[in-house]
Amino acid sequence: MVFPTPDDGAGPNPAEAPIEFTSDTFLMEQALRQARRAFQAGEVPVGAIIVQGSTIIARAHNQVETLRDATAHAEMLALSQAQEALGDWRLTDCDLYVTKEPCPMCAGAIVHCRIRRVIFGVGDPKGGAAGGLLNLLQQPTLNHRSEITPGVLEAESLAILQSFFRAAREAAKEKRSSPTQENPDLS
């Protein structure tokens, strides 16, 4: 059996294309891995990573329920990790990849940390602060503006959120429809 080689005119095989470890797609896949960890922990499945150059310096996922902390969003936890890794609160040469558009709280922290670029998967028209509901990341009156790249692996980011909320609705419906045990002491 003869297999095509690059010299036989068959052209490159896309399955053998080199992997770019710094591409937005590859890096968003890393954020999606974090979102899957959140899903498995029963958290809203949002994942985030922070990259400096070609190095991932922080990885996080939502841990609001686990930590019982309303501020434990993936972005906030990743920002804290990155600051610790660099020994500085200024993250001016860092990029944040997050599976869902940041909320106003996270966007405020992103601006204060001076993140260079924010890349997100799925937008949030009802509560997003990177162009969805509002755009804090490019607010002209603030001291810093981040570049925004929306829609990277959008379908995958949306799918994991939809799956999580579908399962949560089904669990709530099942809980409501299950027969309640009568209290024998009331007889």
73-99: string of b/e by CB count within 10 Å (b at 16+)? bbbbbbbbbbbebbeeeebeebbbbbb
The strand pairing partners of 147, in sequence order, are 117
**Active-site option among 43, 75, 101, 147:** 75
Give yes or no: 154 in active site.
Answer: no
pLDDT of residue 181: 52
pLDDT of residue 184: 52
pLDDT of residue 176: 86
pLDDT of residue 3: 37
In the sheet that 147-149 helps form, which strands lie side by side, from edge to edge?
Answer: 55-61, 47-52, 94-100, 117-122, 147-149
**What is d(CA 59, CA 145) in angstroms, rounded to the nearest whole number?**
23
Q: Cβ–Cβ contacts within 10 Å for residue 45, how many?
A: 27
CB 145 within 8 A of CB 139: yes
103-138: string of b/e by CB count within 10 Å (b at 16+)? beebbbbbbebbbbbbbbbbbbeeebbbbbbeebbb
CB 35 within 8 A of CB 156: no
pLDDT of residue 18: 62
pLDDT tens by residue, the chain, 187 residues: 443 444 444 555 556 666 667 799 999 999 999 999 999 999 999 999 999 999 999 999 999 999 999 999 999 999 999 999 999 999 999 999 999 999 999 999 999 999 999 999 999 999 999 999 999 999 999 999 999 999 999 999 999 999 999 999 998 888 888 766 555 555 4
